[in-house]
Amino acid sequence: MSATDVSAPQSVPVARPSPGGRFGAAGWFRVGLACAILLGSAGVRAWQVRRIEGELAAGRNRPRFDLDLVPMNLGRWKGGPTELDEQIARYTGADQIITRRYVDQDTGAAVDMILLYGPAADVYLHSPEVCYPSAGFTLEAGPDDRVVDAPPYKAPFRSLVYAKGEGAHSDRQEVYFTWWYDGHWTPQVGKQKHFERIPGMYKIHLARRVVAAEKRDVGNPCEALLKVLLPEVERRMAAARSTAP
């Protein structure tokens, strides 16, 4: 047997990372940087949410005209109030809504009008292209985008015809509508995320009974009414904007 006993286990020193080693300096720096970025992102997001909510709240309080100020009589059109089911009115999400029937004193044509204002994120959902099919109507004509010229104003409207029922008892409705938001009239609506940033919007909606063979592109009563209605709405919107702080 040799003088050195190689059968006995030898202790081998194990290297341990020191607190001041590479991980302690660079590793913890990266962890801290990542946490700072996450916290910063959360802070920016919270600030954006508060800013958007503040803008929406300010927009809801922004001066807008009282819809009842639109005249009941417009030239040869004589108007009268109509009743809208309270539940339906509530579903529109509107802050104010008026419903009237205007009758042309020369021709006897009758047109129903809905004029409303409310928070864009709620109001935009109630497009005729959604509501009429949901009520059992089918699209018979359109959509056709038409520009109504009511000097000194012009506005695009969408025209459609919906029908429900068969034969002589069918209910055919011609619809004209447009929205006011982002400083202009348009029958187009975007995605909900877009409207979450818009405080409020107006909507003009006209509807009238039509017969199957009626020609709608000449002497249309909806367009005739809009020629006198649109300037009244425009003037009152402008007056409300001029009083804004």
Q: How many domains does the chain have?
A: 2
Domain that holds residue 38: 20-61
Is there a contact between 222 and 242 (Cβ–Cβ < 8 Å)? Answer: no
**Pair (50, 77) in one structural domain:** no
When pLDDT is averaged across residues 228-235 and rounded to a whole number, the result is 94
Render pLDDT for 16-54 as a digit per residue (tens, 0 to 9): 554 544 555 566 555 555 655 555 554 544 444 344 444
Do the domain assignments include residue 52? yes
Do the domain assignments include residue 13? no
Do the domain assignments include residue 234? yes
Helix/strand/coil (H/E/C) assignment for every residue in 164-231: ECCHHHCEEEEEEEEEEECCEEECCCCCHHHHCCCCEEEEEEEEEECCCCCCCCCCCHHHHHHHHHHH
Q: How confident is the model at residue 182 (pLDDT cuts 50, 70, 90)?
A: confident
Do the domain assignments include residue 5? no
When pLDDT is averaged across residues 209-220 and rounded to a whole number, the result is 82
**Pair (50, 82) in one structural domain:** no
* Residue 131 or 236, more confident: 236
Residue 224 has a pLDDT of 95
**Pair (165, 234) in one structural domain:** yes
Residue 121 has a pLDDT of 67
What predicted TM-score, i.e. pTM, was given to this entire model?
A: 0.70
Render pLDDT for 49-94 as a digit per residue (tens, 0 to 9): 344 444 444 444 454 788 999 999 999 999 999 986 555 555 566 6
Do the domain assignments include residue 10? no
